[in-house]
Structure 1
Amino acid sequence: MSYEMIAIFMFASMMLMMMTGQRVFGAIGGVAAVAAVLLWTPGGMNIPFSSAMKLMKWYPLLTLPMFIFMGYVLSESKIADDLYKMFHVWMGPVSGGLAIGTIGLMVLVSAMNGLSVAGMAIGATIALPELLRRGYDKRMVTGVIQAGSSLGILVPPSVVLVLYAMIARQPVGQLWLAGVFPGLMMASAFILYIYLRCKANPSLGPVLPPEERTVPLGEKIRLLRAGLLPVVIFMTMMVPFVNGWTSLVESSAIGAITAFLAAVLKGRMNRQVFETSVRQTLAISCMFMWIILAALGFGAVFDGLGAVKAIDMLFTEQLGLNPWMILILMQLSFLIMGTFLDDTAMLVIVAPLYVPLVAALGFDLIWYGILYTITTQIAYMTPPFGYNLFLMRAMAPPEITLRDIYSSILPFVGVMLVCLALIMIFPQIALWLPNYVYGK
C-alpha cells in the first residue's frame, strides 16, 4: 500500500470512529497508536510516546489553567455583571446602544477568559433578557450575542490559539498579539453594522427611555470604575508581558492572582465560587491536554509517512494550483468541516496536513493561525451544526425559535467573511504587533 493510501486510510478511520460517538482525543490518539504499531512494529509506539514527552516539557502550557481560572473567577464572582451595568448606563442613549454595549462586553469577557462558551453564557443570561425587555428585535440580539461570543477564540488570551501553537510549534505570545488587531477590527465591524442598521431602522434597537437614561454623573463614574475592573486586571497582566518584563507564564500567573484578589476585595469570593472555578479549570485544562496529546501523536505518525510532501506535489505539480488557490481551498474546507465539527476537532484532524503544507508554500504560520481561528469563528455560527447555534438554542427563551437563531447570524457571518478577506489580503493587520513587540 502506498503512503498516500495509508494517509487516506488513517483519516477515514479517524472520521469513522468520531462518527460512532467516540471522544475526539480517543479517536485521534487511538488511530495514531494503532497506525504506528502496524507501520513500524511495536517499536513504533515510541513515536506517539515521544510526542507525549514533548507535551510534558512544553512550559507555555502552564498558561492554559491560569487563564481559564482567571476567567471563571471573574464570571462566577459576578464581576462581569458590573460590566453590563456600565454599558447599560453609558450606551443607552444611542440607537442600538445596548447591542453595541453587548459587543463591548463580549470583547472584555474574551480578554478575561479565552473561550467562546463563557461569552455566550454571560451574554445569554445577562444581556439577552435585558435587550428583549427593552424592545430590541429578537433576531438582532441573538445574532449580536452569537457573533460577540465568537470573539473569545480570537482575542487574547485565546485558548484555541494555545492549542494551535502547540500543534503548529509556534510561540503562543506571538499568536496572541497577532489576534489583537483582527479581534478589535472584527468587533468594530460588528459595532458599525449594528449602529448603521439601527440608525436606518430604530425599531430594531430603540434608545432607553429618558427616566432610565437620567443617572447622576457620580453614579455613572462609580459604574465606570466597577465595570472597568476587568480591563485593569487584563492590563496588569499584559503590560509587563508586552514590555518584556515578565514571561508569558509569569503574566498568566499575575492575571490569575489579580482576578482572585479582586474577587476577595469586592467580597465576592466564597467557597462555592472558588470550588466551581477550580473544578471547571481542571476539567477544561485536562480536556485540552488530552486533545493536544492525541494531535501530537497523530501528527508524528503522519509526518513519518511523508504524506504531506506527497499532497504538496499533488496540488502544486499534478494539479498546477498556485499557493493562494491552495490556501483558499484550505479555508473553504474549514468552513465546510465547521458545519459538523467543533474547532478542536477541525484543528487536530487537519493540522498534520495543513500546517506543514502552509509552511512549504511559504506562508507565515502565525498569520495562518489567525486565518484558521477566524474561519473557526465563522464555522461556530454556520448551520446545521454550528456550536454557537446549539448553545443559543439551549439558553434562549421559548419565544426565540431555531429559525430566528439561524437567520440572525447571516449578516454577522457576512461581516466576518469581509474581515477574513481583508486579513488575507493585508497580512500586516495580524503580523504588525507581534513583529513590533518581538522585534524590539
Structure 2
Amino acid sequence: MTIRKELWFGFSLMALIVAGALYMLVSVETIERGHIGLLMLALVVVAIMLGFPTAFTLMGMGMIFTWLAYDRDWHKTLDLMVQAAYKVMGNDVLISIPLFVFMGYLVERANLIEKLFRSIHLALARVPGALAVATLVTCAVFATATGIVGAVVTLMGLLALPAMLRAGYNTQLSAGAITAGGCLGILIPPSVLLIVYGATAGVSVVQLYAGAFFPGLMLAGLYIAYVIILAKLKPSVAPPLSPQDRYVPLPPLLERLAPSHAKNVVPVLLGALKGSRNRDVPTGYILRQLVVVFMPLMLFVLLALWTYRSVTTPEVVETVAMERLGGGAAVSTSSGGLAEPPASGGLAEPPAASGGLAEPPADNSALKEPPAEASALKEPPADAAAAASSTAAAAPPAAGVQEPPGATPPAANASGPAGAATAQERLPVPRGWWITMGVLATMLAAFYALLSFTRLEVFKMLLTSFFPLMVLILSVLGSIVLGLATPSEAAAVGALGGFILAIAYRQLTFGVVKESVFLTAKTSAMVCWLFVGSAIFSAAFALLGGQELVERWVLSMNLTKTQFLVLSQVIIFVLGWPLEWTEIIVIFMPIFIPLLDNFGVDPLFFGLLVALNLQTAFLSPPVAMAAFYLKGVSPPHVTLNQIFLGMLPFMGIQVIAIVMLYIFPEIGLWLPQVLYR
C-alpha cells in the first residue's frame, strides 16, 4: 500500500508539471522559442521522475531540442555535442573527483567505522542520548573522510541502529540520526557536491571547501544539540546507557596494576614504576602506558613552544630593506613602501627621483630642505648602516632629526646590518595567546584529573580509530585550505593515505582494491556523463532563449536581494523532493548562476546556501535515497514511514541552519576572506 501511495504522489507531481507547462503554452499570447526551452525543462524533469537515466536524458533531450534550435541541422548539433564533451574532459577540477571517491572507498573498507563508533560512544557514555550523539559524531568524522552518503548511511545502519534499538531508543529518532548524520558528507569537505558546483558555477573549489567548513560544523552541532535536548526532556526516547554497556575490559597486565577501574591512572602508574607494585608487570609495559598517558601533555608543550615562537618573532622584512637602501630605509618603513607593488613603491623609483639619495649635494640647496630630509642627504650612502650602528649607542639623535613613525629604535639595530634581525627584541605575547593556552591548560588539567583506567582504554581506542582519520582529514583539507596543494594533488595524497590506513589495519586485499576501483570508475563516469549532458542541455536551453526568458521574468518581478534568495532556496527545497542533488546542480544551477549578478549575490555564498539546502534531496520523500539505504539494512519491523517521520525534525533543523547562514553570512565567508582575500 505504501508503494501505491508513493506512485500516486509521483504521478500527481508529474501531472502538475505537465499541466503547468501546457497552461503556460496556452495562456501566452505568442509562443516564443524560450517557451519551448521551458517545455524541454519540464519534459526532462518528468522523464527523470519516471526513472530514465539522468545523464542520457539530458543528452537526448538536449540534442533533440538543439536540432530544433539549429533548424534541423545535424552537423551543428553533433559539433555542439563534441565541443561539450571535450570541454568536460579538459576541466582540471574534475580530476579530484575519482581520487576523493577512491580515498573514500578505501577508508570505508579499512573497517574503521566500527572501532570509531564504539570508542566515541564509550567516550560520550554519560551524555544524554549518548548513542545517537555518537552516531552523529561518527557520521560527521567518517563523512569528512569519505564523502560517500550511501556508504556512511549503510554502515551506520548496520552498526548503530541495532545498538540503539537494543538500548531502547525510539525507532524514529534512531533512523533520523543515522540518515541526517550520513548526509553530512554532502556539505562537509571533501564534498563531491562542492566540486560539481564549483565546476558548474566557475567558483574556486578551494574557497568553497574553506567556506563550507564552519557551516558543516554548525549543522552537525545543531543536530547534536537537538538530540541532547530531546533526550533530556524525554528520557524514554533515548534512555541512558546501562553500566554493562559502559563497561570497558582492561588488558590483563593493566588489570594487575589497577586497584579499581575508576582509580586515577597517573599516580598508580608512577607508583608502579618505582618498583613497589610492579613485581608481575614488566617495566617496559609501564613505560609504554606512561607514554600514552602523557602524549597530550607532550603535544601541548610542543604546540605552546611553536605558537610562542610564531607570535613573538619580529618581522625581518624591514631589516632587509634597510640594508638594501643603505640606512635611508628607516624612512621608507614608515611610508609603507614594503607593502606596495614595485611599480608604485619607493623601492622601484630611479635614483634621480628618490629625493637625492643617490647623488651627493652639489651645492647648498639641500640645506633648504627640512631637517629630516637634510640629515638623510648628509649620510654617506656607501656604509650608512655601519655608521649609524657605530654612533647610535654613543650619541642621541640630533635635535633637528625626527625619528619616523614605525622606524626601528637605534638600540634594536645596534649589532649592525648582519645581525639586525637577531638583535631585535621579541614582540610582546598577545593576550589571545595567553587566553588560548590557559583554556587548553585547564582542559588538560581536567583530562588528567578525570583519567581513570577505564577512560585510558577509551583513549587508546580513540588513538587507534579517531586520530588516524583526523590526521588523514587534516592533511588533505589543511593542504587545500592553506594553499599548499590543489584539490587534485590533495586528493592524490588522500588516496595514498587511504592505502596506508588499509594496510595498517590489514584490510588491503586484491578484492578490496578491485571493488574500490570499480565503484570509483562507476561514480566518476556518472559524474562526467552528467557534465556532458548538462553542457548539451544548457546550450540547447540558451539557444532556445529559455535562460533569457527566465531572466526577464525574474527581473520583471522587481525582487530585492532577500526576496530573490528566499525564492531560489524555496525552489531548490521543493526540487529536492523529486530530484537528487546531482540533477539539481547540473540542470538548474546554470539557470540560477547568471541571475546572481543582477542581485549582487556572491556565487560562493550562494553555493554554501545551496549545499545546505540540497541535503533535503537525501532527506525528503519520495526520493530520500538515505531512507532507502537505511531500509535496505534495517530490521524488518522498521518501516519506511518510521524512517520518513524520523527525518522530519532534522529537515527542520536544516531550514534553521539555512536561515542562520543567511542572517550571519560570516559563518561561511569569514574563513575564505581571511585566507584568500
Could you tell me the TM-score, scaled by structure 2's length? 0.62
Matched with 1:303 is 542
Q: Is the 8 A contact 2:179 2:619 kept in 1?
A: yes
**Superposition deviation, residue 34 in structure 1:** 2.0
**Superposition deviation, residue 16 in structure 1:** 4.1
Alignment of 1:244-259 (within 5 A): 244-259=483-498
Q: Deviations over 1:391-426 (max 9, x none)?
A: 222222122122311221222111111001111222
Cα 1:259–1:438, aligned 2, differ >3 Å: closer, same or farther? same
Cα 1:15–1:238, aligned 2, differ >3 Å: closer, same or farther? closer
**Superposition deviation, residue 19 in structure 1:** 4.3
Matched with 1:27 is 57
Looking at structure 2, the residues matched to 406 and 106 of structure 1 have their Cα atoms a distance apart, in angstroms, of: 19
Residue number among 76, 81, 92 corresponding to 1:59 in the alignment: 92
Alignment of 1:196-207 (within 5 A): 196-207=229-240
**Superposition deviation, residue 112 in structure 1:** 1.2
Runs of 4+ residues deviating >4 angstroms:
none
> Do residues 119 (structure 1) and 152 (structure 2) align?
yes
> Do residues 49 (structure 1) and 82 (structure 2) align?
yes
> Do residues 68 (structure 1) and 101 (structure 2) align?
yes
Supply the AA of the counterpart residue of 2:653.
V
Q: Is the 8 A contact 1:32 1:48 kept in 2?
A: no
Looking at structure 2, the residues matched to 351 and 195 of structure 1 have their Cα atoms a distance apart, in angstroms, of: 36
Larger proportion of helix: 1
> Do residues 327 (structure 1) and 360 (structure 2) align?
no
Q: Is the 8 A contact 2:110 2:505 kept in 1?
A: no
Looking at structure 2, the residues matched to 336 and 281 of structure 1 have their Cα atoms a distance apart, in angstroms, of: 30
Matched with 2:242 is 209
Matched with 2:616 is 378
Matched with 1:194 is 227
> Do residues 350 (structure 1) and 588 (structure 2) align?
yes
**Superposition deviation, residue 359 in structure 1:** 3.4
**Superposition deviation, residue 166 in structure 1:** 1.7
Supply the AA of the counterpart residue of 1:104.
V
> Do residues 180 (structure 1) and 222 (structure 2) align?
no
State percent identity of aligned pairs.
29
Alignment of 1:224-303 (within 5 A): 224-228=462-466, 229-303=468-542
Looking at structure 1, the residues matched to 199 and 598 of structure 2 have their Cα atoms a distance apart, in angstroms, of: 19
Supply the AA of the counterpart residue of 1:81.
E
Q: Deviations over 1:124-143 (max 9, x none)?
A: 11111111112211111111
Matched with 1:163 is 196
Q: Deviations over 1:207-257 (max 9, x none)?
A: 222233243343212101012211111112122222222222111111110
Q: Deviations over 1:64-101 (max 9, x none)?
A: 01111111111112022221121121012222011111
Matched with 1:391 is 629
Looking at structure 2, the residues matched to 279 and 351 of structure 1 have their Cα atoms a distance apart, in angstroms, of: 29
More deviation in 339-348 or 297-306?
Answer: 297-306
Cα 1:405–1:16, aligned 2, differ >3 Å: closer, same or farther? closer
Matched with 2:389 is none
More deviation in 395-404 or 219-228?
Answer: 395-404
Supply the AA of the counterpart residue of 1:54.
K
Residue number among 459, 470, 473 corresponding to 1:221 in the alignment: 459
Supply the AA of the counterpart residue of 1:296.
A
Cα 1:35–1:80, aligned 2, differ >3 Å: closer, same or farther? same
Residue number among 6, 12, 17 corresponding to 2:42 in the alignment: 12
Looking at structure 1, the residues matched to 54 and 154 of structure 2 have their Cα atoms a distance apart, in angstroms, of: 24
Matched with 1:367 is 605
**Superposition deviation, residue 200 in structure 1:** 1.2
Supply the AA of the counterpart residue of 2:97.
L
Q: Is the 8 A contact 2:551 2:595 kept in 1?
A: yes
Looking at structure 2, the residues matched to 387 and 217 of structure 1 have their Cα atoms a distance apart, in angstroms, of: 38
Supply the AA of the counterpart residue of 1:17.
A
More deviation in 147-156 or 399-408?
Answer: 399-408
Long gaps (5+) in structure 1? none
Q: Deviations over 1:179-221 (max 9, x none)?
A: 1111100000011111111011222222222233243343212
Looking at structure 2, the residues matched to 144 and 16 of structure 1 have their Cα atoms a distance apart, in angstroms, of: 31
**Superposition deviation, residue 327 in structure 1:** 2.3
Matched with 1:407 is 645
Q: Deviations over 1:264-304 (max 9, x none)?
A: 12211112211111111111111111111111221233234
Q: Is the 8 A contact 1:48 1:298 kept in 2?
A: no
Matched with 2:123 is 90
Query: Secondary structure of 2:219's match?
Result: helix
Supply the AA of the counterpart residue of 1:183.
G
Query: Secondary structure of 2:236's match?
Result: helix
> Do residues 137 (structure 1) and 142 (structure 2) align?
no
Looking at structure 2, the residues matched to 315 and 245 of structure 1 have their Cα atoms a distance apart, in angstroms, of: 41
**Superposition deviation, residue 170 in structure 1:** 1.6
**Superposition deviation, residue 158 in structure 1:** 0.7
Cα 1:19–1:130, aligned 2, differ >3 Å: closer, same or farther? closer
Query: Secondary structure of 1:202's match?
Result: coil
> Do residues 101 (structure 1) and 339 (structure 2) align?
no
Query: Secondary structure of 1:368's match?
Result: helix
More deviation in 198-207 or 308-317?
Answer: 308-317
Matched with 1:418 is 656
Looking at structure 1, the residues matched to 196 and 584 of structure 2 have their Cα atoms a distance apart, in angstroms, of: 12
Query: Secondary structure of 1:203's match?
Result: coil
Q: Deviations over 1:117-158 (max 9, x none)?
A: 122112111111111112211111111011111111000011
Looking at structure 2, the residues matched to 338 and 353 of structure 1 have their Cα atoms a distance apart, in angstroms, of: 16
Cα 1:95–1:17, aligned 2, differ >3 Å: closer, same or farther? closer
Q: Is the 8 A contact 1:139 1:407 kept in 2?
A: yes
Paired residues, number: 438
Supply the AA of the counterpart residue of 1:393.
K
Cα 1:19–1:219, aligned 2, differ >3 Å: closer, same or farther? closer
Looking at structure 1, the residues matched to 507 and 640 of structure 2 have their Cα atoms a distance apart, in angstroms, of: 36
Q: Is the 8 A contact 1:299 1:351 kept in 2?
A: no
Q: Is the 8 A contact 2:189 2:477 kept in 1?
A: no
Q: Is the 8 A contact 1:14 1:31 kept in 2?
A: yes
More deviation in 186-195 or 361-370?
Answer: 361-370
RMSD: 1.7
Q: Is the 8 A contact 2:123 2:455 kept in 1?
A: no
Could you tell me the TM-score, scaled by structure 1's length? 0.95
More deviation in 235-244 or 70-79?
Answer: 235-244
Cα 1:322–1:143, aligned 2, differ >3 Å: closer, same or farther? same
Supply the AA of the counterpart residue of 2:589.
A
Supply the AA of the counterpart residue of 1:131.
M
Looking at structure 2, the residues matched to 17 and 143 of structure 1 have their Cα atoms a distance apart, in angstroms, of: 30
Long gaps (5+) in structure 2? 1-30, 249-453
